[in-house]
């Protein structure tokens, strides 16, 4: 009971029973006191009871107040109203009691109001205390002189001062702040507020020094506290630890910047790659040195974001510069460089001497290194330049020159790009030069071929005309000589020699014409069944009279081995082979000619006993104008086209021809020709009938 009473008193929130008990007690105590002071208070018995009512109402509220009032009315009527110790009320007494009751009720209600206000204020203060203690921000309040009146747990923790210790301390002792960058003490915001009287925030980057020396980045604001009259009675300061936030923010900013930088680099790299690819593709299509230079200067320098550029080539055996292509320079400036000596001082000369890339990043450096060019430089407005040798196999073809209007730091990437561009350019230049040379050579060769063809054609025609009359007249003479008795034998032999040589001339002309036709692909075949047995025998019989010392032996069947070919052309092939066999057997002897069937092909072998073919001559034997080294041109005439014509005609037939040395002496030539097969539509019914 006593405990709860004490607790209630302390808390200021007494229970209802206690409040009424207190009212009764107050009434009884007053009654006792009034009885003791009876002679003094008798004329006004309610005097002391006003105090009891006021106390009851103040402490317990209106109810206890009214209770005390009621008890007072009863007690005063009984004890202090005549006829004393009995209740007997006249009208005046009743009026007096009612007046007292009214005053008592008034006192009770006033006291009640007062009590409620006090209770509300207490509750509010309590709530404020709890709130300030529980919020996440640090709070310190001071009085008007700057002495701490309140510090919440967060502030206590950040400053390192306990609330009890901090209480009454000057703010400057507890809240010590410095500038994070300069580390100079910062004026306390409290004094600012005291002076200015308005809400003040801290500058950025303020460090709070705790009692133990810990530094924390804080963010705060300070506000004045004023009383009802507006007089400054203190300041309240709210602050928080932003070390973590600041770090995170810095980290985020750094990440954003890094990402942006990486993206920029990647985009720039992608742009450069795209441009370089475009350059590479364009260079692949460029076929002349001029086109190559244009590509490098137009597209390549764009990849570098150069404002102007040119390709210089070494001319006059490396003594002067020639401008192959340029972009972005006034033509008159370029004209000044045409055919300038490589020895004239310029970045070109220095890069040529060192055989390495030369870059200059500022206009000051340009002026300093080449004062002679200051005028030119002022005219073109160059601030940075790069001169890169176009190197091919350690030999300088020329120079890639790029200029920039703004000073420029050449990064490793820039230099790599320049090197790459110069390397590609040099290779493309060389390729274009070779291509041009090759094209010129090819055109010259084609022209030469045409000229030769024309010459051969005309020559053959012109040679054949006199040959025609020569042969006819000779043969006529021979015929008449047969009828005449006046000609002696030597004359007849002489006539025979003239006729033979005229024929030989004719054959040579024909062979030359054939070579020309084969070269131009103009020789075509008229194919049909060709009996190689009869053909070889006929050609051999025609040639036999030309040499008495050789015997042409036709072996194998007399007829029936049919090849698919052009009879006139195959006759030519056999003539060449038989004539060769005779020609390369200067000591005479037999020539064995044999036709054999061989698995879908017909073979003709021609074997002589002549000088044979050296091993080393075999691979080239059928080449045009080739002559075996063992054939002495003074002994055995020829121009080396017979076997070439043989091979070409046989190949046109889809056949082949081989040459070999015979084990003893002489050579053996074998021609393989496709066998004649009758047309399928004729063959098909025959097969059906056979089945």
Smallest gap from Cβ 538 to other proteins, in A, equals: 15
Smallest gap from Cβ 484 to other proteins, in A, equals: 7
Is 469 near other proteins (CB under 8 A)? yes
CB 593 within 8 A of CB 554: yes
Give the residue with the Cβ less far from other proteins, 129 or 468: 468
Give the residue with the Cβ less far from other proteins, 319 or 461: 461
Half-sphere exposure in the Cβ direction for 26 (13 Å, CA)? 27
Rounded distance between C-alpha atoms, residue 109 and residue 58, angstroms: 9
3-state secondary structure of 233: strand
Residues 493-522 as x/- pattern, contact with other proteins by CB under 8 A: ---------x---x------x---x-----
Is 485 near other proteins (CB under 8 A)? yes
Structure tokens belonging to residue 242 = 């932003």
448 closest CA partner among 460, 458, 456: 456
Question: In terms of C-beta density within 10 A (0-12 exposed, 13-18 middle, 19 or more buried), how is residue 418 classed?
Answer: buried
Rounded distance between C-alpha atoms, residue 630 and residue 644, angstroms: 18
CB 417 within 8 A of CB 304: yes
CA dist list (Å): 589 to 105, 500, 583: 174, 21, 11
Give per-residue burial for 342-363: e unless 16+ CB within 10 Å, then b.
beeebbbbebbeeeebbbbbeb
Is 107 near other proteins (CB under 8 A)? no
Dihedral (CA of 434, 435, 440, 444) sign: positive
Structure tokens belonging to residue 122 = 């207490």
DSSP 123-146: HHHHHHHHHHHHSSSEEEEEETTS
Half-sphere exposure in the Cβ direction for 672 (13 Å, CA)? 10
Smallest gap from Cβ 509 to other proteins, in A, equals: 9
Give the residue with the Cβ less far from other proteins, 294 or 566: 566
Smallest gap from Cβ 646 to other proteins, in A, equals: 19
Smallest gap from Cβ 645 to other proteins, in A, equals: 14
Give the residue with the Cβ less far from other proteins, 465 or 620: 465
3-state secondary structure of 73: helix
The size of the interface with other proteins (CB under 8 A), counted in residues, is 25
Contacts of 642 (CB under 8 A, 6+ apart): 511, 576, 579, 580
Q: Which stretch binds other proteins (CB under 8 A): 164-172, 476-484, 533-541, 655-663?
A: 476-484
Instruction: Single out the residue of 465, 549, 551, 553 in contact with other proteins (rule: CB under 8 A).
Output: 465
Rounded distance between C-alpha atoms, residue 224 and residue 141, angstroms: 10
Instruction: Single out the residue of 125, 479, 493, 651 in contact with other proteins (rule: CB under 8 A).
Output: 479
Residues 401-440 as x/- pattern, contact with other proteins by CB under 8 A: ----------------------------------------
Give the residue with the Cβ less far from other proteins, 460 or 617: 460
Structure tokens belonging to residue 624 = 């045009």
Is 454 near other proteins (CB under 8 A)? no
Smallest gap from Cβ 545 to other proteins, in A, equals: 14
Is 460 near other proteins (CB under 8 A)? yes
Rounded distance between C-alpha atoms, residue 687 and residue 141, angstroms: 126
Instruction: Single out the residue of 201, 345, 466, 560 in contact with other proteins (rule: CB under 8 A).
Output: 466
Give the residue with the Cβ less far from other proteins, 127 or 522: 522
Give the residue with the Cβ less far from other proteins, 252 or 480: 480
Smallest gap from Cβ 502 to other proteins, in A, equals: 7
Rounded distance between C-alpha atoms, residue 570 and residue 591, angstroms: 19
Q: Which stretch binds other proteins (CB under 8 A): 212-220, 247-255, 459-467, 583-591?
A: 459-467
DSSP 635-667: TS---S-HHHHHHHHHHHTT-EEEEEE-SSSSE
CA dist list (Å): 265 to 29, 48, 323: 96, 97, 34
Is 229 near other proteins (CB under 8 A)? no
Smallest gap from Cβ 461 to other proteins, in A, equals: 5
Is 484 near other proteins (CB under 8 A)? yes
Rounded distance between C-alpha atoms, residue 50 and residue 38, angstroms: 16
Instruction: Single out the residue of 483, 489, 634, 689 in contact with other proteins (rule: CB under 8 A).
Output: 483
Instruction: Single out the residue of 480, 493, 504, 651 in contact with other proteins (rule: CB under 8 A).
Output: 480
Instruction: Single out the residue of 180, 471, 601, 636 in contact with other proteins (rule: CB under 8 A).
Output: 471
Rounded distance between C-alpha atoms, residue 473 and residue 56, angstroms: 177
Give the residue with the Cβ less far from other proteins, 364 or 462: 462
Smallest gap from Cβ 474 to other proteins, in A, equals: 9
Give the residue with the Cβ less far from other proteins, 430 or 453: 453
Smallest gap from Cβ 493 to other proteins, in A, equals: 18
Strand partners, 598: 601
Give the residue with the Cβ less far from other proteins, 11 or 485: 485
Give the residue with the Cβ less far from other proteins, 357 or 467: 467
Q: Which stretch binds other proteins (CB under 8 A): 247-255, 471-479, 622-630, 635-643?
A: 471-479
Is 271 near other proteins (CB under 8 A)? no
Smallest gap from Cβ 475 to other proteins, in A, equals: 4
Instruction: Single out the residue of 472, 541, 555, 684 in contact with other proteins (rule: CB under 8 A).
Output: 472
Note the residues at the interface with other proteins (CB under 8 A). Answer: 457, 460-461, 464-473, 475-476, 479-480, 482-485, 502, 506, 513, 517
């Amino acid at each position: 009971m006593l405990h709860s009473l004490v607790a209630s008193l302390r808390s200021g929130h007494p229970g209802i029973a206690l409040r009424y008990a207190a009212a009764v007690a107050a009434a009884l105590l007053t009654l006792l006191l009034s009885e003791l002071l009876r002679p003094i208070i008798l004329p006004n018995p309610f005097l002391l009871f006003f105090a009891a009512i006021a106390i009851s109402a103040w402490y317990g509220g209106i109810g206890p107040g009214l209770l005390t009032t009621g008890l007072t009315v009863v007690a005063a009527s009984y004890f202090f109203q005549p006829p004393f110790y009995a209740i007997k009320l006249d009208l005046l007494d009743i009026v007096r009691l009612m007046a007292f009751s009214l005053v008592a009720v008034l006192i009770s209600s006033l006291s009640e109001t007062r009590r409620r206000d006090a209770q509300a204020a207490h509750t509010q203060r309590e709530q404020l205390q709890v709130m300030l203690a529980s919020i996440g921000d640090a709070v310190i309040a001071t009085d008007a002189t700057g002495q701490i009146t309140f510090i919440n747990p967060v502030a206590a923790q950040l400053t390192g001062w306990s609330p009890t210790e901090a209480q009454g301390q000057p703010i400057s002792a507890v809240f010590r702040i410095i500038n994070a960058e300069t580390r100079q003490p910062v004026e306390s915001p409290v004094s600012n507020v005291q002076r200015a009287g308005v809400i003040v925030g801290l500058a950025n980057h303020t460090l709070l020094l705790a009692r133990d020396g810990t530094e924390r980045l804080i963010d705060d604001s300070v506000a004045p506290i004023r009383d009802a009259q507006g007089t400054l009675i203190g300041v309240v300061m709210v602050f928080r630890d932003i070390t973590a936030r600041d770090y995170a923010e810095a980290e985020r900013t750094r990440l954003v910047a890094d990402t942006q930088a990486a993206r920029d680099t990647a985009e720039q790299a992608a742009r450069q790659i795209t441009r370089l690819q475009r350059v590479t593709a364009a260079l692949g299509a460029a076929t002349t040195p001029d086109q190559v230079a244009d590509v490098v200067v137009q597209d390549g320098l764009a990849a570098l974001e150069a404002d102007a550029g040119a390709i210089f080539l070494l001319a006059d055996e490396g003594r002067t510069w020639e401008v192959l292509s340029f972009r972005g320079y006034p033509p008159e400036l370029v004209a000044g460089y045409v055919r300038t000596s490589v020895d004239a001082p310029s970045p070109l000369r220095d890069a040529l001497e060192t055989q390495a890339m030369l870059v200059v990043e500022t206009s000051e450096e340009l002026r300093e290194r080449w004062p002679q060019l200051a005028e030119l430089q002022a005219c073109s407005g160059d601030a940075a330049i790069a001169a890169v040798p176009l190197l091919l196999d350690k030999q300088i073809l020329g120079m890639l020159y790029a200029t920039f209007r703004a000073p420029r730091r050449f990064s490793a990437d820039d230099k790599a790009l320049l090197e790459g561009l110069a390397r590609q350019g040099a290779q493309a230049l060389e390729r274009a030069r070779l291509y041009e040379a090759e094209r010129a050579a090819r055109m010259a060769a084609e022209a030469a071929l045409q000229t030769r063809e024309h010459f051969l054609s005309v020559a053959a025609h012109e040679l054949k005309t006199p040959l025609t009359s020569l042969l006819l007249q000779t043969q006529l003479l021979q015929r008449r000589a047969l009828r005449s008795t006046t000609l002696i034998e030597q004359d007849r032999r002489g006539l025979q020699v003239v006729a033979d040589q005229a024929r030989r001339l004719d054959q040579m002309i024909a062979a030359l014409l054939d070579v020309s036709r084969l070269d131009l692909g103009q020789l075509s075949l008229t194919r049909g069944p060709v009996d190689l047995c009869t053909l070889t025998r006929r050609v051999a019989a025609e040639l036999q009279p030309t040499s008495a010392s050789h015997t042409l032996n036709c072996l194998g069947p007399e007829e029936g081995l049919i090849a698919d070919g052009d009879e006139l052309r195959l006759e030519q092939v056999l003539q060449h082979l038989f004539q060769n066999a005779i020609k390369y057997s200067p000591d005479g002897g037999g020539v064995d000619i044999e036709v054999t069937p061989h698995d879908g092909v017909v073979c003709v072998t021609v074997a002589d006993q002549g000088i044979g073919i050296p091993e080393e001559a075999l691979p080239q034997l059928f080449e045009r104008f080739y002559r075996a080294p063992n054939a002495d041109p003074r002994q055995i005439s020829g121009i080396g086209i017979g076997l070439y014509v043989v091979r070409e005609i046989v190949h046109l037939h889809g056949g082949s021809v081989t040459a070999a040395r015979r084990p003893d002496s002489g050579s053996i030539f074998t021609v393989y020709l496709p066998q004649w097969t009758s047309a399928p539509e004729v063959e098909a019914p025959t097969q059906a009938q056979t089945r």
